[in-house]
Amino acid sequence: MEDQAVCCYRHPQRETGISCTRCERPICPECMISASVGFQCPECVSGRASAGSGASAAGPPPRAAQPRTLAGGTMASDPRLITKILLAINIAIWLAALSAGDRLVNDLDLVGRAYDPGTVQVVGVAEGQWWRLVTSVFLHQQLMHIAFNMLSLWWIGGPLEAALGRVRFIVLYMLSGLGGSALSYLLAAQNQPSLGASGAIFGLLGATAVLMRRLNYDMRPVIALLALNLIFTFTWSGIAWQAHVGGLVAGTVVAYGMVHAPREKRALVQRGTCVLVLLAIVAMVWIRTVQLTG
C-alpha cells in the first residue's frame, strides 16, 4: 500500500517532506523558519520568542528571534509582493510598447550592434547602450509572449519568493535575466534583436529545481517541465535559446548558493555566489564588446 502524502499543517493542500524540529509537525517552504538545527514552524518560533521576552534585559534583542526563510531572509506578511511588482512592471512596459509602437521597442530591446533606419545611427550594447541588457528583460510585444511569461512568473515566483525572501528573490530574478541577456549578446548575431522575460523565468525554473532538491521533494514534475521548455526552446523558430540557457544557468547557480549556504557563513557564501555570477555576466559582455568594436 502506498504511503499517504504528508501535507503542511498550516496549508493542507501542500505536500512536504520537512517537519518542525520542535513539535514535529509537517511544514511547507512558506512556513519553515531556519533554526540552529533544521527548521521550525511559526508557532514554535513565536512561542519561544514570547517565553524569552520577559527573561532579562540582557537577553538577545527582539530582532534576533525574527522568523527567517529557508535562505535566511525575513519572513514577510505578503510573500508575493515582489512577484506582484515584477508583474506590474512587465505589464506596464508592454502597454507602453503597444501605445508607442516600434520606436520604444527599438530603443529598449537587446541588440548587439546594428544600423537603425529610424535614427540613421548604429545602435546596440556595443555602442555603449548598456541599458538594453536590463530593459529587454521587461519588454514584450506579442500578447501570447507576455501572457506565458507572466503566468509562469506568478506560478513559480510566489513559492520562490516565500522560500528565499524578498531581497534574495529579486537578486535571483535580476541575475537570471542579466545572465540570459549576456549569453544572448555573446552568442547571437550582432544585429539579432531579442526581448522578453524568458531568461529570468528559466532562472526561476532552475531555482525551483534546486529548492525542491534541497527539500527532498519529488523532482519528476519540475524536471518534466524543464525538459518540455528546453524542447520548445530548441525546436520552435524565433526563440532566443541563448537567453533561455543563460538565464537557466545563472538562476541555478545563484539558487544553489542561496539554499545550500551553511548557516554560520550564509551571508558570505550567498553574496560571493551572486558576485561570481555577476562577474561572469560582465566578462561575457566585455568579451563580446571587444569582438564587435575591436
pLDDT in tens, 256-294: 999 999 988 999 999 999 999 999 999 999 999 999 997
**What span, in angstroms and rounded, lies between the C-alpha atoms of 203 and 137?**
12
Quick one: which of 133, 135, 225, 131 has its CA closest to 179? 133
Per the residue annotation, which of 34, 140, 176, 244 is the catalytic one? 244
For residue 18, what is the enclosing H or E element? strand 18-19
Q: Is 194 a catalytic residue?
A: no
Angstrom distances, CA of residue 191 to CA of 114, 119, 133, 184? 5, 15, 14, 11
Q: Determine the 3-state secondary structure of 34 from DSSP.
A: strand
Give me 74's grid cell: 525575513
Per the residue annotation, which of 181, 198, 237, 260 is the catalytic one? 198
Tens-digit pLDDT profile for residues 106-133: 999 999 999 888 778 999 999 999 999 9
Q: Is 244 a catalytic residue?
A: yes
What is the overall mean pLDDT for the chain? 87
CATH 1.20.1540.10 range(s) for the chain read: 80-293
List the CATH code of the domain at 80-293: 1.20.1540.10
Entry pTM? 0.79
Q: Which residues of the chain have pLDDT under 70?
A: 1-5, 17, 35-38, 47-67
Describe the crossing of helices 241-260 and 220-235 by its angle, rounded to 10 degrees.
160
For residue 155, what is the enclosing H or E element? helix 143-164
pLDDT of residue 186: 96
- On whether the CB atoms of residues 226 and 209 are closer than 8 A, the answer is yes
Q: Determine the 3-state secondary structure of 123 from DSSP.
A: strand
List, in sequence order, every residue forming a beta bridge with 39; answer none if it has no partner.
34
